[in-house]
Amino acid sequence: MLQQTGVKTVVPYFQKFTNKWPDIVSLSKANENEILRYWQGLGYYSRSRNLLKTAKIINRDYNANIPSSLEELILLPGIGDYASAAIRSIGFNKKATVIDGNVKRVIARFFSLEGTLASNFDDISYLAKMLTPSKGNADYSQAIMEFGALICKPKQPECKLCILREKCLSFKYGLVLSIPEAKKRINKKKLKCDSFLAINNNQFVLIIKRKEQNLLKDMWQLPSSDWISEMSVRKLSSQIPFKSNWIQQKKKINYKFSHINLLNTTYVTKVKTKIKLDHLEYKWINLKELDSYPLVTLTKKILLDNNLI
Ligand code: SF4
């Protein structure tokens, strides 16, 4: 959960998730829909699918015991260099070098490596390995990551409190605030889309299952148009899920992804019957049952704005 996501956001998700599935055996029996529902709002949904696949494999092939060798861990879905090192180090207290963003920044500053973290990655990895202790590895890994999060922070590091200050080269040369060099800001694509909120009897809404092989695969959402450039023009009639009196809502929703700014316009219609759509995997869901569907965040925002959840 903590990959790409901050601790503050993760804590309530983690608590709910581990209350529901406290161990690998119970998690391995969950279905993907349920997992996605507990993950909704955290984003990067492939992490949750991989977690489920990995739990199933560990339950089936390892008698529900997490393996501790690098060779076995690295073959599990969703486990790469960082996660395998973290499991080996923190979980098994084995010698493994954990390198997250905090560790990279502490090392870059301590050794005064000018440039971006990415441009110094080889040097940082080499130095991180040199520093990795054989004993007490679990404590060391957690300590250096926490040190980066609490003392050698990205902005306003606490150099006055720092126990490494005497030996820190960035501090010595007055370079603390310029190391690491900031990444170049990416220009986010500006796209737009239309979402269609169909309400039947003030009780049911129409939702569809996403099929595209992307991050949001198998999540549920309101029917919506393709995402197109903010400057493009298209006819509403080519996008609507069915003919009806669609009313455009004034309030637009600006939704931010890591590489995209998406401007959503919502159209609402009230229908007397639950219209059938042959070409989509869709459901008319009673508003009281919406909780049991993993919904994409944009759909949740639209439903909230319309006081439907
Ligand atoms: S002295 Fe400042 S820059 Fe150097 S390690 Fe400590 S907190 Fe980080």
pLDDT digits (tens, 9 = 90+) for 271-285: 998 888 776 678 899
Quickly state the pLDDT bin for 263 (edges 50, 70, 90).
very high
Residue 235 has pLDDT above 90, yes or no: no
Nearest residue (by CA) to ligand 1, atom 1, is 165
Centre of ligand 1 to C-alpha 118, Å, is 20
Give yes or no for residue 277 CB within 6 A of ligand 1. Answer: no
Mutation test residue for ligand 1: of 153, 161, 162, the one with most atoms within 8 Å of CB: 162
Q: How far apart are the first and last CA of the chain?
A: 25
Q: How far is the CA of 171 from the centre of ligand 1 (A)?
A: 6
Asked whether the beta carbons of 220 and 293 are under 8 A apart, the reply is yes
Give ranges for CATH 3.90.79.10 in the chain: 189-305
Which pLDDT score, from 0 to 100, does residue 214 have?
62
Alpha helices in the chain (DSSP H): 7-20, 24-28, 32-39, 46-61, 70-73, 81-86, 92, 101-110, 121-131, 137-150, 169-173, 297-305
Measured from the CA of 176, which atom of ligand 1 is nearest? Answer: 3
User: Which CATH class name applies to 189-305?
Assistant: alpha beta
Report which of 216, 215, 109, 228 is spatially closest to residue 164, judged by C-alpha positions: 109
pLDDT band at 63 (very low <50, low <70, confident <90, very high): very high
Domain with CATH 1.10.340.30 in the chain: 7-178
Angle between helices 46-61 and 32-39 (to 10 degrees): 130
Please give the mean pLDDT across all residues of the chain. 91
Quote the ligand 1 centre to 151 CA distance (angstroms). 7
In order of 155, 196, 287, 288, the CA distances from 293 in angstroms are 39, 18, 11, 11
Res. 213 pLDDT band, cuts 50 70 90: low
pLDDT in tens, 142-199: 999 999 999 999 999 999 999 999 999 999 999 999 999 988 877 889 999 999 999 9
**108-137 exposure pattern, b = at least 16 Cβ within 10 A, e = fewer:** bbbbbbeeebeebeeebbebbeeebeeeeb
- 108 confidence band (pLDDT: 50, 70, 90): very high
Q: Are strands 282-286 and 204-209 parallel, antiparallel or unpaired?
A: antiparallel
In single-letter form, the type of residue at position 181 comes to E
| pTM across the whole model | 0.71
pLDDT for res 57: 97
- How far away, in angstroms, is 192 Cα from ligand 1 center? 43
CA distances from residue 189 to 72, 192, 230, 235, 302 in whole angstroms, order as listed = 39, 10, 9, 22, 22
Model confidence at 103: pLDDT above 90: yes
pLDDT at 204 over 70: yes
Task: Please report the atom of ligand 1 found closest to the CA of residue 109.
Answer: 3
Per the model's pLDDT, the better-predicted residue between 240 and 179 turns out to be 179
CA proximity to 255, closest of 266, 267, 240: 266
d(CA 99, CA 235): 50
Q: Is the pLDDT of residue 132 over 90?
A: yes
Q: Does 127 sit in the ligand 1 pocket, CB within 6 Å?
A: no
Give the pLDDT band of residue 3 (cuts 50, 70, 90).
confident
- Exposure of 112 in the CB half-sphere (CA atoms within 13 A): 12
Q: What is the DSSP letter of 63?
A: T
Best probe residue, ligand 1, of 151, 165, 166, 177 (max atoms within 8 Å of C-beta): 165
Q: Is the pLDDT of residue 12 over 90?
A: yes
Give the Cα separation of 66 and 73 in Å (integer).
8
Assigned superfamily of 7-178: Hypothetical protein; domain 2 (1.10.340.30)
Q: Is the pLDDT of residue 234 over 90?
A: no
